[in-house]
Amino acid sequence: MRKAIVKAAAQPLIQFLVLGAVFYGLYAWIIGSRAGEPDNVIRVTVADVSRLDAAWRARWNRPPTQEELAGLVRSHVREIALYRHAVAMGLDQDDVVVRRMLGQKLQTLSQNLLELSLSPTDQELRTYFTANAERYQPPDLITFTQIFLDPDRRGDETLEDAEEILGKLRALSEPTEGIESFGDSLMLQRYYPRKDELEISKQFGQGFAQSVFELSPGEWHGPVLSGYGVHLVYVHDHAESPAPEFAVVEEMVKQDWLGDKRRELQEKFVSDVLASYEVVFEDLPEETPEQGVEAEPETSG
């Protein structure tokens, strides 16, 4: 019996209902003083004004003036009045937009409540870190020099020129000395120290970056293509990043763990909610229901 209770308590839907009941009770206690008020009374509390003030500060990075705050309160009252009137008229019934928004609000509320139970242990974080170590691996760094050959200037002879210049570069006693006379002008630097693949991609394109990281250090290579044209590349150093240390990335690991758990609990919560309903399709072809949604056709009579 005890195991069954523990197992049930671990279900996201049960956790949501319990936590929701606690917060509902707290909410009911706070607003108890409003009980018995007519439906046409809109009470603006200090908490309401504080919330409006905080929202303004968060958006505009400054406190609202008295006139602006009064405008916020007027908008708040107007919103509540219109909402109550719309509900009284039944406008919230069978409305796709309202239905979707309420569903999203329930999901957000359930996520916020379920997060209260999320508190990973050190061992859980270390296990997660080990299983996802590649996420926290710093990128490799490469140092290189590039010489640009402009196809617009050289035309069909670009690749032939590249082979000729490459031979001259490889014959140099010092691989990068006196190379200013080679190549064409480009509004980018020639020497790039300790750059990762993403940084290089932003300047030369992904194809160029991937190609450069495949080159061996200590010699000239080419031709290497980019969106600009043709390049000859000398790799000075290719530094592989060391394995990440848990202590350095612990906070990042925790946030990732929480993010994965949020998604996991949210999916489980929605699954549990769906499991409490019977889905019935009326007079639809058999292939219409999506896979995974069990349906029972209604029988007449």
Transcribe 164-219 into DSSP letters: HHHHHHHT-SSTTTT-TTSS---SS-SEEEEE-HHHHHHHH-HHHHHHHHTSPTTS
Residue 203's nearest CA partner among 184, 181, 188, 185 is 188
For each successive 10 residues of the chain (301 residues), what is the average pLDDT? 47 54 46 58 91 95 95 92 85 83 82 78 96 93 97 95 96 91 92 96 96 96 96 96 91 94 86 83 62 46 40
Q: At 220, phi and psi to the nearest 5?
A: -80, 145
Instruction: For strands 191-195 and 141-149, give the pairing.
Output: antiparallel
Q: Tally the C-alpha atoms within 13 A of residue 278's C-alpha that lie toward its C-beta.
A: 5
- The tokens describing 173, both together, are 């006693």
- For the segment 10-54, what is each residue's pLDDT rounded down to a tens digit? 555 555 555 555 444 444 444 444 555 667 888 999 999 999 999
Amino acid making up residue 203? Q
**In the chain, which segments carry CATH 3.10.50.40?**
139-239
Distance CA(252)–CA(134), nearest Å, equals 13
| 21 contact partners, CB below 8 Å, separation of at least 6 | none
Radius of gyration of the chain (CA): 32
Cα→Cα distances 127→124, 250, 254, 258, 264, Å? 5, 12, 11, 14, 17
- The CATH number given to 139-239 is 3.10.50.40
8 A C-beta contact, residue 48 and residue 30? no
Q: Is the pTM of this model over 0.85?
A: no
Specify the DSSP element, H or E, that contains 15.
Answer: helix 12-30
| 111 contact partners, CB below 8 Å, separation of at least 6 | 262, 265, 266, 269
Q: What is the DSSP letter of 41?
A: -
- The tokens describing 292, both together, are 């995974």
Cα→Cα distances 98→85, 89, 93, 251, Å? 15, 14, 8, 38
Residue with tokens 């758990």: 261
